[in-house]
Amino acid sequence: MRIGVIGGGLMGSGIAEVCARAGVDVTVVEADAAGAERAQERIEKSLDRGARSGKLSGEQRQAAAERLAYSTTVDDIAGADAAIEAIIENEGAKRELFKRLDAVLPDAEFLASNTSSVPIMKLGAGTSKPERVLGLHFFNPVPVLPLVEVVRSIMTGEEALARARSFAQDTLGKVCIDSQDRAGFVVNALLFPYLNDAVRMLEAPTRLGEGGERKAVPGGDRLVVAERLRAELTLLEEPLRELRLELASKDESAVLERLQQLRGHALLRRPREREPLDTVRVGILRRGEAAFRKQELPE
Residue ranges in 24-89 assigned as alpha helix (H):
33-52, 58-66
Torsion of CA 166, 170, 176, 179, to 10 degrees: 0
- Residue 188 known to be catalytic: yes
Q: Which residues contact 128 (CB under 8 A, 6 or more apart)?
A: 102, 106
Is residue 90 annotated as a catalytic residue, yes or no? Answer: no
CA–CA dist 212, 270 (Å, integer): 16
Look up 116 and say whether it is catalytic.
yes
Nearest-5° Cα angle at 62, 59 to 68: 145
The catalytic position among 131, 188, 232, 275 is 188
Of 30, 46, 137, 179, which one is the catalytic site residue?
Answer: 137
- Residue from 113, 116, 153, 179 carrying the catalytic annotation: 116
HEC per residue, 269-291: CCCCCCCCCHHHHCCHHHHHHHH
Contact 129, 139 (CB under 8 A): no
Q: How far is CA 119 from the centre of its chain?
A: 14
The catalytic position among 149, 153, 179, 246 is 149
Residues designated catalytic: 116, 137, 149, 188
